Chains A and B, each alone.
Chain A
Amino acid sequence: MSVRALWIISYERGESVAVRFSRRYPTVEQRAKCMAGSLYVSVPEDGTVLQLLLTELGLSDSDKPYMALRDDCLHQQRSPALELHVEGPSGGVLWPMLVISQGPLILACLAVVDAPADPRPPLASLFSVSQGLTLLAGLQAFLCGSGSKPDREGLTSRLAMMPSILLQICPLGTPLDIPQPGASSASAMPTPAGTQKQPAWKTGVHRGRAVVNVALTEMVRSMQYGNRNRQDLWDVYGTVTCKCEVEGVLPNVTVTLTLPPNGSPLMDVLVHPCVSSLDASVLTAMSVEDCDSSSFSGPYKFPFSPPLEPFRLCSYTSQVPVPPILGTYQLKDDDNQLRITVSLKLHESVRNSFEYCEAHLPFFNRDQMGSVDVKVSSGQLEVSKEKNLLVWVLGQKFPKSREVSLEGSVSFSGELPGPTDPLCTDLTAYIKLYFRVPDLTLSGCCVDQHSVQVYSSAKPRIVTSRELLSSEYFIWNSTGTAPVSSGHMML
Chain B
Amino acid sequence: MSANWPERISAFLRSPSQFLCSTTSDIFLAEVLHELRDDRASDHIKVLLLSPLLEHPTLLCPSVFVGEETALELMSVFAQCSPKSLPLRCHLLLALTSVLLCSCCVSSHTSASQDFLDLLLQMAQDTNDAQAGAALHPLRTTACDCLRELEACLPGLLSQRLELLSSLRQQENSRLHQAYTGLHALALRNAVYLLTQQKEAGAGDLKAALGSNEGFVWGEGADSAHPNSESHSDLALFSPLTLGTMGKVPSLQTGLDCKELRSLLSSLLEESYLLTSLSQAALLRQLVEVLAMVPAVSPTILRAQLLRLLGTCKVCLLHTTLLMKAAFTDSLFNAEDEAFLLKRLVGLSQHPLLSTPEKLFYIDCILHFPENRPISSGDESLPVLLTPRLAAALVPTVFNDSVSMLARLNLLSLVYLEEGEEDREGQGGRGLAYLYDHLTSLLRIVENQASREMVVTFFRASFLFLLHFCHVERYSEDLSQRLCDLYLRRTRLAPHLINLADRTQDRLEESGWAVALLRALQRTITEAPLSQLTLQDLRWHLRILARVAEEGEVLQRATLNFLLCVITSSSSALCVSGDWRLGNSVLGVCRRLLLHPSLDSLLTPLADLLQHLTCHYGETDIQDHARLYYTLLTTLSQEKLAGVLAQRGTERGRQAKVRSLSAIMGENEELTSGLTVHQTERPLLRLVKLDKHEPDECRPEHKPDSEPACETESSPGQGGIEDYRAQFQSSSFASEITLQYHLTHTGVHDPHFDKLFSIRLHFDLTDGHYEEVSDISVPCLFRTRKPPTVRLRLKPKQPYHTTLRASAIFTTEDGLSWHSPLADLHVAFPEVFLPLLTPLGWAREKKQRVFEGIWGEICSGQSEGDLTNTATSLFCDQLEDSAVGELVEKYFQRYLVSDLDKGRCNVLFFLPPQSHVLLKVITEEDAVQVHIATDNWKLLPYINSYLEDITKEIHSTQQVNGDV
Contacts and interface: CB of A to CB of B under 8 A. Distances in A.
B752 A273 contact: no
Given A129-B361, A488-B392, A124 B308 contact: no
Nearest to B229: A34
Interface string B680-703: 110000000000000000000000
A45 B16 contact: yes
Contacts, number: 384
A471 B274 CA distance: 36
A100 interface: yes
A135 interface: yes
Interface stretch (B200-208, B398-406, B854-862): B398-406
A194 interface: yes
A441 B26 CA distance: 68
B66 to A, nearest CB: 15
A125 to B, nearest CB: 5
Given A483-B441, A484-B397, A420 B308 contact: no
B125 interface: no
Interface in B518-533: none
Contact of A286 (B182, B320, B344, B441): B344
Given A71-B456, A80-B357, A273-B314, A125 B243 contact: yes
B755 interface: no
A45 B357 contact: no
Given A30-B227, A273-B314, A24 B56 contact: yes
Interface of A is mostly: loop
Interface stretch (B173-181, B707-715, B783-791, B881-889): B173-181
A221 B669 contact: no
A178 B281 CA distance: 13
B382 interface: no
Interface in A166-204: 167-168, 171-178, 190-191, 193-203
Given A71-B456, A199-B175, A134 B277 contact: yes
A190 B176 CA distance: 13
Contact of A483 (B182, B397, B680): B397
Contact of A23 (B55, B320, B456): B55
Nearest to A132: B316
B503 interface: yes
B146 A202 contact: no
A77 B403 contact: yes
Nearest to B362: A124
Residue among A171, A174, A287 with the most chain B CB within 10 A? Answer: A171
Given A27-B149, A278-B311, A483-B441, A174 B282 contact: yes
A393 to B, nearest CB: 27
Given A27-B153, A72-B499, A199-B175, A167 B91 contact: yes
Nearest to A120: B379
A167 B282 CA distance: 18
Contact of B235 (A35, A44, A46): A35
Contacts of B153: 27, 30-31
Given A26-B56, A72-B499, A130-B281, A486 B358 contact: no
Interface string B378-413: 010000000001101111011100010011001000
B142 A171 contact: yes
A154 B56 CA distance: 29
Contact of B173 (A2, A133, A194, A270): A194
A75 B496 CA distance: 13
A292 to B, nearest CB: 14
Contacts of A349: none
B779 interface: no
B56 A71 contact: no
A270 to B, nearest CB: 4
Contacts of A71: 452, 456, 459, 495-496, 499
A124 B368 contact: yes
A381 interface: no
A383 to B, nearest CB: 25
A430 to B, nearest CB: 12
A359 interface: no
Nearest to A24: B55
B725 interface: no
Nearest to B507: A74
A10 interface: no
Residue among B175, B179, B317, B368 with the most chain A CB within 10 A? Answer: B175
Contact of B276 (A27, A201, A284, A484): A201
B407 A78 contact: yes
Contacts of A75: 460
A181 to B, nearest CB: 14
A121 interface: yes
Given A46-B15, A198-B174, A133 B347 contact: no
B189 to A, nearest CB: 12
B353 A237 contact: yes
Contacts of B360: 78-80
A177 B235 CA distance: 27
A414 interface: no
A116 B238 CA distance: 10
B451 interface: yes
Contact of B94 (A88, A135, A167): A167
Interface string A444-485: 000000000000000000000000000100000000000111
Contacts of A301: none
A272 B239 contact: no
Interface in A56-99: 58, 62, 65-66, 68, 70-80, 88-90, 98-99
A363 B928 CA distance: 98
A255 to B, nearest CB: 14
Given A31-B153, A78-B410, A289-B343, A26 B492 contact: no
Contacts of A115: 239-240, 243, 245-246
A219 B449 CA distance: 33
B272 to A, nearest CB: 10
B41 to A, nearest CB: 17
Contact of B361 (A33, A48, A72, A133): A133
A124 B445 contact: no
Interface string B579-597: 0000000000000000000
Contacts of B87: 164, 167
A340 interface: no
A153 B454 CA distance: 33
A19 to B, nearest CB: 8
30 contacts: A27-B97, A58-B452, A70-B456, A71-B452, A76-B463, A78-B363, A78-B364, A79-B361, A79-B364, A79-B407, A88-B681, A100-B357, A116-B245, A116-B246, A124-B365, A124-B368, A127-B320, A130-B316, A167-B138, A168-B141, A175-B278, A176-B179, A193-B128, A198-B174, A198-B175, A221-B352, A269-B311, A276-B273, A276-B308, A283-B311
- Which 3 interchain pairs have the tightest Cβ spacing? A487-B395, A130-B319, A34-B227
Given A27-B149, A133-B357, 13 more contacts: A26-B58, A68-B499, A89-B753, A124-B369, A130-B319, A133-B315, A167-B90, A176-B182, A237-B352, A273-B317, A275-B311, A289-B390, A487-B434
Interface of A: 1-2, 19, 22-27, 30-31, 33-35, 44-48, 58, 62, 65-66, 68, 70-80, 88-90, 98-100, 114-116, 121-125, 127, 129-131, 133-137, 163-164, 167-168, 171-178, 190-191, 193-203, 219, 221, 237, 239, 250, 267-273, 275-280, 282-284, 286-289, 312, 314-315, 317, 365, 420, 422-423, 425, 471, 483-488, 490-491
Interface of B: 13-17, 47, 51, 54-58, 87, 90-91, 94, 97-98, 101-102, 128, 134, 138, 141-142, 145-146, 148-149, 152-153, 172-175, 177-179, 182, 227-228, 232, 235, 238-240, 243-246, 271, 273-282, 285, 307-308, 310-320, 322-323, 326, 340, 343-344, 346-348, 351-353, 355-358, 360-361, 363-365, 367-369, 379, 389-390, 392-395, 397-399, 403, 406-407, 410, 430, 434, 437-438, 441, 444-446, 448-454, 456, 459-460, 462-464, 492, 495-496, 499-500, 503, 669, 680-681, 748, 750, 752-753
